Structure formats: structure tokens, C-alpha cells
Amino acid sequence: MSVARAQARINVAAIERNCSRLCKELHGGAALCAVVKADGYGHGAVQSAMAALAGGATSLAVASAEEVRELRQGGIRVPVLVMGALSPSELAQALDADAEVVVWREQYLKEVAAAGGGRVHVKFDSGMGRLGTRDHAEASRVVQEARRIPALQLVGVMTHFATADDLKDDGFFMRQLATFANWARAMKAEQPDLVVHAANSAATLRDREAQFDMVRCGIAVYGMDPFGRDPGGRGLEPAMELSSYVAEVKLCPAGESTGYGRRFTAEQDTYLGVLPIGYGDGWRRGLSNNADVLVGGRRYPLVGTVSMDNITVDLGGDPSATKLRGDRAILIGFQGTERITAEEVARRLDTINYEVTCAITPRVPRDYHRDGRPLEEGAPQGRAQALGTSR
């Protein structure tokens, strides 16, 4: 395998298998909606969407109108829900792309109708405290009004959980679930074909009662653990590998330093490997003196300051380290019997795995494969499943 200064290899077969695993978790006929916002959490929106559909997802969700446009240009015709707030111009773009949109005020219904109409989901804020109305009566009025306006089709009602990924929470998740379920049950009684949905990845894996008619899974689709632990323990398979290579190996004598600010000084003679990847590629500066890298199947500590284009790793004092020049280096992924997960990187940064992969910048090429086999050019995975009719 050839080396590159920085490369993210995405295994679309892993995304398919993760979706298949999630579908097996569902009960009562619940459907899987794969969330592919933020460029598929850094994995590539169109490719991830096609893999998710091939794995059993029946619809997609994004956060912006531009993200819908990208999916449509990629040949995807399944239902796509825009979960985020939309300005008037963005609303027009989303509706033009045949997207479903979220509403929670009667005024928003009028705006959708004025823009030509379309399919809407009413959002009830059961405790997240962001978009949606907290007022049961207002949410019910919006539902009734959506049914009344001829240009609109009421497709679903929804909420979003604030603490589903916190297994030690104080019961807030269950209170949110009960609050939403009580309201949604009444709405569904009036319209049996209404799609009720609330669960993200964490809620899907945590409580079957949160699955309703559809779940909206994001992080688990890409093989990362929504609870920030070991994805393997959840039967999930990380789809992304982030790599670079050892561009140079040089002796750092005792007392000498490396990098901006001289944040690493060698206590004894050691060899440093220079990898041409840095925060310009999304490898955060907070990992300075605070990460490991795999080279030759072994862990080596990242030392010194992460710069925009380079990092350095301590390869030890053995002169044979010079033989590692040109070798691939794994920042996220497996090599030999060792592995570094996005969850490990997130813990070092005191953040979440979502941010780790989303932060990988467009400067890093994405290389798509199927369990190591290159995808055939012009024949993206899951295309037959990706094309179809909207809801």
C-alpha cells in the first residue's frame, strides 16, 4: 500500500455492517434513518449514505439545505430530513431538493406553504432546550394546522434527547421519553400513519421504548460508540482509518528539543520521526505531548507541539529506528495487534468521538474501499438501494 502525507481510508462495508447491526436492534417495525450531516461525520456524505442504505437504512437526515443538495447531486432519491433551522433562502433550496423539513411554530408552516409547500415534521422540545416548542398546546396546534394547509403534508412528529448517552444520568432521559411519548401518542391516535421518532444512536441502543416508528442514528453508523467507550463492545466497527507516514527520522541528542515552544526536550539521545500531518488536517493541537501513533505495529508517543503540517514521535534510542523512515503511521485505526480508536483520541482531548472525525479537514483525501478492496470507479456502493422514490 502506498503512503500519503495524510489520508483517511473509509471502509464502506463497515458502515453497511453497522447499519445492519442497528436494524437488528430495532423492534416493532421501527425504521432506520441514517444521519449523514457534517459530511457524514467526516466520512463523506454521499458514500456514507449509499453504504447506510445498502445496510438497511430507509431514509437519511442532515442539518442543512446544502447537505441535501449534495446528496441529490450524488444520485440519492430516498427521503431526506433536514433537522436544522432554515433561513428563507435555505428553506426554498431544501424544498426544491425535495427534502422534508422541521417546523415548530405556526408561522413556519406559513413560510413552508409560501415557498411552495412540502412534507413537514413537527418538533416538540421535551427537554433538549434548543429547537422545538416546549408548549404541548402549541405543538398540538402546529400539528393541526399542518394537517389543514393543503400545500403541506404532515409526515412526522419528533423530539431529541439531551442525556441519552449518559448512562449515569439522574433520570432526565426517562422523563424526556415519557413527556414526548404521552404527547406523541395522542398525535398518532389522530393520524395513524404519522412517523414518530426521537432516538439517536445512544437512545436506540439504550431503550427500545425510545425507538417508536423510526430512529435517527449517526455516530453508530460510522462504528463509533455513542457512549464514548469501546465500539467493539457494542458490536460496532469503526469505518475510518487516519494515517500518515514517517517522512524523516533524525537523532535528537539529550538536551535538544523539537517543535514550537520547545515543549519536548530529550532527556537522553533519541530518534524522532517526523510525520507530515497536523492541525491543518484536523489533528488537534491539544494532542501535543498527548497522543500515541502506531508505526510498525508499535505505539510511539507524540512529542512536542502539533503544528499545522507536522508532528513528531519519539521512536526511542535504538539507531535501528532509522529503518522506519517511509513507513505508514496510523493515528486512528489498527496496525498489527495495536489499535487507536477515535474514543481514545477524544478522551485525551476531553471531548467526544463525534468531534474527532468531524474535525478531519478536506485537505485529507478520503479513500473508499470495501474491506480493503478498492471501489470500482463509476460504480459506487449501494447505488441500486440509494435510488428510489421519496416518501
CATH number at residue 181: 3.20.20.10
Residue 257 within any structural domain of the chain: yes
The pLDDT mean for the chain works out to 95
Cell numbers placing 2? 502506498
Which H helix or E strand runs over 217?
A: strand 214-217
Residue 276 within any structural domain of the chain: yes
Q: Are residues 211 and 112 in the same domain?
A: yes
Is the predicted pLDDT of residue 379 greater than 90, yes or no? no
- Taking only the tens place, the pLDDT of each residue in 109-130 is 999 999 999 999 999 999 999 9
Average pLDDT over residues 263-285: 98
Number of domains, the chain: 2
Residue 372 within any structural domain of the chain: no
pLDDT above 90 covers a percentage of the chain that reads 94
CA angle 128, 41, 367 (to 5 degrees): 175
pLDDT for 170 = 82
Write phi, then psi, for 172 (nearest 5 degrees).
Answer: -60, -40
pLDDT for 390 = 45
Q: Are residues 29 and 74 in the same domain?
A: yes
Question: pLDDT tier at 169 (50, 70, 90 boundaries)?
Answer: confident
Residues 6+ apart with CB under 8 A from 376: none
pLDDT for 176 = 97
User: In whole angstroms, what is the distance from residue 223 CA to residue 235 CA?
Assistant: 8
pLDDT for 1 = 65
Residue 234 within any structural domain of the chain: no
User: In whole angstroms, what is the distance from residue 225 CA to residue 362 CA?
Assistant: 24
Chain centroid offset of residue 209 CA: 24
pLDDT for 389 = 42
Nearest to 267 by CA among 253, 283, 285, 282: 253
pLDDT for 131 = 96
Q: Are residues 129 and 175 in the same domain?
A: yes
Would you call 41 a catalytic residue per the annotation?
Answer: no
The residue annotated as part of the active site, out of 24, 37, 250, 271, is 37
User: In whole angstroms, what is the distance from residue 201 CA to residue 165 CA?
Assistant: 8
- Taking only the tens place, the pLDDT of each residue in 40-62 is 999 999 999 999 999 999 999 99
Is the predicted pLDDT of residue 256 greater than 90, yes or no? yes
pLDDT for 384 = 37
In single-letter form, the type of residue at position 8 comes to A
pLDDT above 70 covers a percentage of the chain that reads 96
pTM listed for this prediction: 0.94
Q: Are residues 21 and 122 in the same domain?
A: yes
Would you call 168 a catalytic residue per the annotation?
Answer: no
User: In whole angstroms, what is the distance from residue 364 CA to residue 277 CA?
Assistant: 9
Q: Are residues 216 and 261 in the same domain?
A: no
Partnered with residue 195 across adjacent β-strands are 156
Average pLDDT over residues 13-29: 97
Q: Are residues 25 and 51 in the same domain?
A: yes
46 close to 83: Cβ distance less than 8 angstroms = no
Task: For cell 510525520, name the residue.
Answer: 275
Is the predicted pLDDT of residue 311 greater than 50, yes or no? yes
Domain that holds residue 126: 12-226+381-386
Nearest to 41 by CA among 374, 365, 356, 370: 356
Residue 42 within any structural domain of the chain: yes
Q: Are residues 220 and 99 in the same domain?
A: yes
Nearest to 219 by CA among 233, 231, 207: 231
In single-letter form, the type of residue at position 255 comes to G
Is the predicted pLDDT of residue 36 greater than 50, yes or no? yes
Query: Greater confidence, 176 or 1?
Result: 176
Q: Are residues 209 and 324 in the same domain?
A: no
Q: Are residues 159 and 271 in the same domain?
A: no
Average pLDDT over residues 281-307: 98
Average pLDDT over residues 238-255: 98
The residue annotated as part of the active site, out of 108, 123, 250, 260, is 260
Strand pairing of 118-123 and 214-217? unpaired
Write phi, then psi, for 227 (nearest 5 degrees).
Answer: -95, 5
Residues 6+ apart with CB under 8 A from 79: 58, 59, 60, 100, 119, 390, 391
- Taking only the tens place, the pLDDT of each residue in 201-213 is 999 999 999 999 9
Question: pLDDT tier at 391 (50, 70, 90 boundaries)?
Answer: low
Q: Are residues 164 and 252 in the same domain?
A: no
Q: Where residue 277 sits, what CATH number does that domain have?
A: 2.40.37.10
